[in-house]
Amino acid sequence: MRSIAALLSIAWLAGAAPAYACGADALNTSREFKVATKDVRGIGQGYPAMGLAHGEIILTFDDGPMPGTTPAILDILAKECVRATFFMIGKRAEANPALAKRVRDGGHTVGSHSYSHRELNGLPADEARDDVQRGYEAVEKAVYGNAADRPRLVRFPEFKSTPDLVSFVHQHHGAVVNTNISPADWRGQPANVTFERLRALLDRQDRGIILLHDKQPETVKLLPMLLDEMKKRKMKVVVLVPE
């Protein structure tokens, strides 16, 4: 007899179509979190409360797509039937369009993370806006083949922005996504070190947006540890979907 998790996976596969089988004890994705970009300027720290329930976690990955590591991250997520949001750097998506598309084909949400990954609050306003726009255009061209006007999610490099940039994103059907659970995997420390930090964060925050980096080799080792920990804590994965 099939488990409920497996049945849920099949229901999801029927909609999103990535062809892989989830493990019988897969963590799974419990629901979509719709972000109404017409009304919502941003979510996460600095924005109004999100409406996540106890134990609900949104997984986000920044700075890819990176050929050496992103495929392994995608395989781990696929095995657990977990959907995440990838905030891609425009120039990396441009350089790796097949990989960018593979992220989307895996059922994940794709957002942009600027074109150049410079600290945008230090640039002249025009240049900063241009970097944000080129960022989502490059990512969307790689993923969808065009940069048509569509609901989109944006994360600023280092979370550094200005009110002008937030307005700019909002005017272009976008919402800003921040984080409230950041284990600092960007430091590249051994996965077990980052994992202990992450566990301590989860002790304090029982819901929210976790920030990871799919370009980090140690994050490939960290991710299964995190997903196991989430199972132990009976946490649920929620995926962002802009609309």
Enumerate residues 146-165 that contact Zn ion by CB under 5 A. 157
Total interface residues for Zn ion by CB under 5 A: 3
- What backbone phi and psi angles, to 5 degrees, belong to 241? -140, 115
Beta bridge partners of 132: none
Rounded to the nearest angstrom, the gap between the alpha carbon of residue 130 and the centroid of all alpha carbons in its chain is 22
> Minimum CB separation from Zn ion for residue 215, in Å?
9
Biggest CA pair distance of the chain: 61
By beta-carbon proximity to Zn ion, the closer residue of 9 and 182 is 182
**Identity of residue 224:** P
> Minimum CB separation from Zn ion for residue 211, in Å?
9
Q: Answer for the pair 119, 158: CB distance below 8 angstroms, yes or no.
A: yes
> Minimum CB separation from Zn ion for residue 107, in Å?
23
> Minimum CB separation from Zn ion for residue 87, in Å?
7
Of 9, 59, 62, 177, the residue at the interface with Zn ion (CB under 5 A) is: 62
By beta-carbon proximity to Zn ion, the closer residue of 207 and 213 is 213
Using Cβ positions, the residue closest to Zn ion within the complex turns out to be 62
Q: Hey, which residues are catalytic here?
A: 62, 213
Enumerate residues 189-218 that contact Zn ion by CB under 5 A. none
Q: Kindly write out the interface string for residues 21-60 of this chain, putting x where it contacts Zn ion by CB under 5 A and - elsewhere.
A: ----------------------------------------
Q: Give the integer Cα–Cα distance in Å for 17 and 111.
A: 20
Of 56, 63, 94, 218, the residue at the interface with Zn ion (CB under 5 A) is: 63
**Identity of residue 161:** S
> Minimum CB separation from Zn ion for residue 77, in Å?
19
Please report where in the chains the tokens 């490099």 appear, as a residue.
Answer: 157
Beta bridge partners of 241: 34
By beta-carbon proximity to Zn ion, the closer residue of 117 and 236 is 117
**All residues at 6 or more sequence positions from 67 whose CB lies less than 8 Å from its CB, including other chains:** 96, 99
By beta-carbon proximity to Zn ion, the closer residue of 100 and 235 is 100
Rounded to the nearest angstrom, the gap between the alpha carbon of residue 161 and the centroid of all alpha carbons in its chain is 19
Within 10 A of 176 (CB to CB), how many other CB atoms are there? 23
**Stretch of 4-12, 62-70, 130-138, 217-225 lying at the interface with Zn ion (CB under 5 A):** 62-70
Nearest CA to 185 among 26, 55, 60? 60
Please report where in the chains the tokens 């409406």 appear, as a residue.
Answer: 51
By beta-carbon proximity to Zn ion, the closer residue of 104 and 155 is 155
Please report where in the chains the tokens 């799919």 appear, as a residue.
Answer: 214
Positions in the binding site for Zn ion (CB under 5 A): 62-63, 157
